[in-house]
Structure 1
Amino acid sequence: MPTPGTPLPAALIPDCTKPEAHRAAYRSAKANDAIFVCIARQGSRWKVELDAFSSSGPTIPEQAVAVLRSAIEVLVSDGTVTQANIAPDYISIWAIKSEQKAREIAAAFHAAMHGLRQLYIAVPVPRRRA
């Protein structure tokens, strides 16, 4: 089992299709001070959800969110996903064709969010003066 607060490999991303599984996985992430990540079946497709509000770390800066947004734009433009919502602490990506692809995307974005947060902690982005 990975150390709490570290990125999960694709095989360990929880399937939160059932509401009780979602609640349990979110509680676990919160208890471990980790970024929440899951996949869920939606009809014949899959959804990926990430939520950094489950952890106490800093908000991911907008410059870093731009990197995540660019990756999502590529996934949308090549048809891998149909839609996504992204904010500094939350990402939702849906209409993914297979569970395997959803797990791959979830693991990659979980690692990216975790890494960008760690980078921001080590090298804070200077604040602009008004």
Structure 2
Amino acid sequence: MDILHNVLLVLHFIGIGSLLGGFMTQMKQLKPGTAVVNAAMFHGALTMLVSGLLLVATTYMSGEGDYVNNAKIGVKLAILIVISVLVIINRKKATVPSGVIGAIGGLTVVNIILAVFWK
């Protein structure tokens, strides 16, 4: 079960990198009216969502569910759902407002901060 947990954790990190990298790419070339939700953001958000849920599930299945901070997981899941909805709604649009891109990136950073500092 440890190998599966570690593989899922690596996938979760890859999803974070993809989502944050897609955001940074948009910030680098951001001019008014040119922002888009790129494929990296879409696939990163979905990878984070699926791998995060499977990480929690495997933790419970291994009998270590007593050590899961359910409040933290709930808050992080809620933020990730908002990110995913923003990405899915805006991924087919030719351009999106810079505030949407900023919200996606900002919420991603908030999720990372919660993962690191909320014990």
TM-score normalised to the size of structure 1?
0.31
- Structure ranking higher in strand proportion: 1
Could you say which structure has the greater relative contact order, defined with CA pairs below 8 angstroms and 6 or more residues apart? 2
- Structure ranking higher in helix proportion: 2
